Structure 1
Amino acid sequence: MKKGVVKKVLTAVLTIAMVTSLSACGTKNNSSQTTNTTTENKKAADYKIVLLLPGPINDQSWNATNYAGLLECNQKLGTKIEYVENVKASDFESTFKEYAEKGYNLVLAAGSQFDEAVATVAPNYPKTTFCVVNGSKAVGSNVAPIFPKEYEASYIASIIAGNVTKNGNFATIGGFPNTPMEHLMDVYEKNSVEIAKKRGISAAKATRAYANSWTDVALGKQMAEQMIDNGSDTLFVYANEVGLGSIEAAKTKGAKVIGFSSDQTKINPNTVVASVVFDFKTFYVWAIQQYMNGKLTGNTVHEAGIKEGIFLPVYTDNITKETKDAVDKGIQDFKDGKVDLKKLFVK
């Protein structure tokens, strides 16, 4: 081949190579720009989010409270969060897998009972963020529980109970004896008894029982009846639907109930004389905003409580001004750092 021909061939090859290289660079840049634009323009409604509930949305307790948070997010933020109610423990893992495999961005689950299932499933679906509401286990880069410091809410409830009781005999019923439940019960019982004793009721005491159920209404009624028959005049129940049975028993036998989680005074204001409401509308909006802003990070339990304003006392006409003032003072003392509730935990 002549030199002139070789030169022309080389020039042509180099030209093709340069065009190909430039074309490839151009394609890469466009792809990058498209990805960034998609992320920047992603709207709240574009996120695929689902909330799993262990009970019905009309239980007037835990499930209803979480459902209210979902509705507030959809209305205020423009999200389209879906929900599944009455998810059984035997279906926890399969339900998590179902939504992760459908490509959901965020799977919420209401209750610490979901912790173990998340720990099992989450490692296999790194593109999905798993968030247990009231969860305490954050092992995994895509596991980011949010935790309302319930023992701070039970502290408010204890101030009401300590001032409401006539004989200082407190009955408490929990769903299951997990760590968060034990802590909130510890705070409630110790503080309410202390307040009653300061009022001159020297024999004040608290009796605790666990239903080992969230749904057995009849069991809740039976347990409450027995505790009232044994002298308890003030009940505090945190066990979802089980609490409905306890309220019915208290109504029949004339005991008083301090509602918890949702506004249970609506059930019967002469029985449930006050409630400590979890403002999960505020809590959920905060959590979803954290997620959409990339701040709901894994390996971290994201907490909120009295200082974040998510626990609100609700009173009936049965509550005196003195009791309301005591609650206000207790909340302010806590905010001022004068109260260390963790010292009340039973080790």
Structure 2
Amino acid sequence: MKRFVLLAVLAAMVSAGIFHGVPAFAKAPGDHKMVLILPGPINDQSWNATNYAGLQAVNKTLGTKMEYVENVQASDYESTFRNYAERGYDLIMAAGTQFDEPASRVAPKYPKTVFCVVNGMAAAEPNVMPILPKEYEASFLAGIIAGHVTKSGKIGIAGGFPNKLMIRLLNTYEWAARIGRSDLKVARAYANSWSDVALGKQMASSMIDGGADVLFFYANQVGLGAIQAAKEKGVKYIGFASDQNNAAPGTVVASVYFDFASMYTWAVKKYLDGTLKPVVNEAGIAEGIVKVSYGGDIAPAVREVVTAAEEAVKKGHVLFFLSGYPEKP
């Protein structure tokens, strides 16, 4: 009799969601109302396209029916969050650090909705649960490639906005590039835009005219303008965030990108099983999120250095790696 009473109590606790990781009132993946908010177009061949690919993977792999809305302007972030929360959406994802503050302001009013900012840095109980790809790990690999590719010893780098994550990313890139070229000179700028293609081309042209022969832009559509300038002026470009090699073959000599198909699947699965936390949930090289795609111009010796760097990051031996690769192979 005691055994039956215990089982009954345990069943009641499970149904109430008292055991961590067992969601109360569980429902099928396709029954959860989900949406992804994108600040730009899904065909930008960079950040927005990468996130959209993650959405597609989630729907295919997990059987969800996540929707998306693209080209949402900064002035509409909060109203877009409120719109979907008012309509009873269970999970609202938003692609970009710029959504942190709007999500934090709106979330307390809608405790039944989970707000998940991709690249987010602001978590809050009970329902603000960002996921953060370790972009600085990816820029570490991209910088290594740039330092080995440059012939002039000068490279140009640019970010969308000088926020904390972007500064760390570009600092890491510059630091890593010196592995291949210790006397490296770097021209750095910020576009203060994610969408101005013409500005990207202008900024890139200025860097090239100043002697840069390798470019790296992490600024969404702004980077497309930089690729155009690189192609026209015959210099190399390192792609980032998504595989941009096909955007300009021969110009984009390598891309370091994020496997957001895996990251989105990982994050949404955790949401579905009730284990996504109101903390900054991070993933990078060790978690299989960061990938490298090479064009034909990257020498095998350089690829070996990048592979060694990946292994060093996985094992936490980056400083040991640096001591072993002080110069260009």
Q: Same fold (TM over 0.5)?
A: yes
Shift of 1:193: 2.3
Displacement of 1:295 in angstroms is 1.0
Contact 1:106 1:129 in 2 (8 A): yes
Q: How far apart are the structure 2 equivalents of 1:92 and 1:247?
A: 29
Does 2:257 align with 1:251? no
Give aligned-pair identity as a percent.
56
Q: Report the AA paired with residue 207 of structure 2.
A: M
C-alpha separation in 2, matches of 1:260 and 1:278: 8
Distance in 2 (alpha carbons) for counterparts of 1:114 and 1:212: 16
**1:317 aligned onto 2:296:** yes
Asked if 1:305 is matched to 2:284, the reply is yes
**Closer, same or farther in 2 for the Cα pair 1:279/1:32, shift >3 Å?**
closer
Aligned to 1:95: 80
Selected match of 1:187 from 148, 152, 172: 172
Separation in 2 of the partners of 1:331 and 1:141?
35
Q: Deviations over 1:268-305 (max 9, x none)?
A: 1210000011100000000000101111122x000000
Is 1:55–1:86's contact at 8 Å kept on the other side of the alignment? Answer: yes
Moved more, 223-232 or 137-146: 137-146
Match status 1:332 vs 2:317: no
Question: 1:168 touches 1:193 (CA, 8 Å); kept in 2?
Answer: no
After superposition, the C-alpha distances for 1:178-204 in whole angstroms (9 at most, x for unaligned) are 11111110000111024212xxxx3x1
Write the distance in 2 (CA, Å) between the matches of 1:33 and 1:85.
39
- In 1, Cα distance between equivalents of 2:297 and 2:264: 31
Query: Helix, strand or coil: the match of 1:269?
Result: coil
Answer whether contact 1:133 1:145 (CA < 8 A) is retained. Answer: yes
How far 1:34 moved relative to its partner?
Answer: 9.1
Partner of 2:129: 144
Q: 1:190-201 alignment to 2 at 5 Å?
A: 190-197=175-182
Once the two structures are superposed, the pairs formed by residues 188-227 of structure 1 within 5 Å of their partners are 188-197=173-182, 202=183, 204-227=184-207
Q: Deviations over 1:14-40 (max 9, x none)?
A: xxxxxxxxxxxxxxxxx999988x956
SS at match of 2:63: coil
Residue 318 of structure 2 aligns to a residue whose secondary structure is coil
Give the SS at the match of 1:187: helix
Calculate the aligned-residue CA RMSD, in Å.
Answer: 2.1
Structure 2 unpaired stretches of 5+: 1-11, 18-22, 321-329
Tell me if 1:290 matches 2:243.
no
Match of 1:178 in 2: 163
Per-residue CA distance 1:62-95 (angstroms, 9 max, x = gap)? 0000000000000010000000000000000000
- Offset of 1:53 from its aligned partner? 0.1
Paired residues in the alignment total: 306
Summarize the alignment of residues 1-347 of structure 1 with structure 2, pairs less than 5 Å apart. Answer: 39=24, 42-197=27-182, 202=183, 204-298=184-278, 300-339=279-318
Structure 1 residues 95 and 229, CA, compared in 2 at 3 Å: closer, same or farther?
same
- Work out the CA distance in 2 between the residues paired with 1:271 and 1:282: 28
Alpha-carbon offset, residue 213 of structure 1: 0.2
TM-score, normalization: structure 1? 0.85
Contact 2:144–2:179, Cα closer than 8 Å, also in 1: no
Task: Determine if contact 2:141/2:176 at 8 Å carries over to the other structure.
Answer: no
8 A Cα contact 1:122 1:140, kept in partner: no
CA distance in 2, matches of 1:336, 1:98: 44
Is the radius of gyration larger for structure 1 or structure 2? Answer: 1
List, as ranges, runs of 4+ consecutive aligned residues in structure 1 with deviation greater than 3 Å.
31-36, 38-41
- Whole-Å Cα distance in 1 between the matches of residues 185 and 239 of structure 2? 19
Q: TM-score, normalised by structure 2?
A: 0.89
Matches of 1:34 and 1:161 in 2, distance apart? 54
User: Aligned residue for 2:9?
Assistant: none
Name the CA shift for 1:34/1:191 in 2 (closer, same or farther; >3 Å).
Answer: closer
| Aligned residues of 1:46 and 1:79 also touching (Cα < 8 A) | yes
Instruction: Please report how far the alpha carbon of residue 332 of structure 1 lies from its aligned counterpart in structure 2 after TM superposition.
Output: 1.1
Counterparts of 1:142 and 1:253 in 2: how far apart (Å)? 49
| Cα pair 1:290 1:296 within 8 Å, conserved | yes
Select the structure that is richer in helix: 1
Secondary structure at the counterpart of residue 215 of structure 1: coil
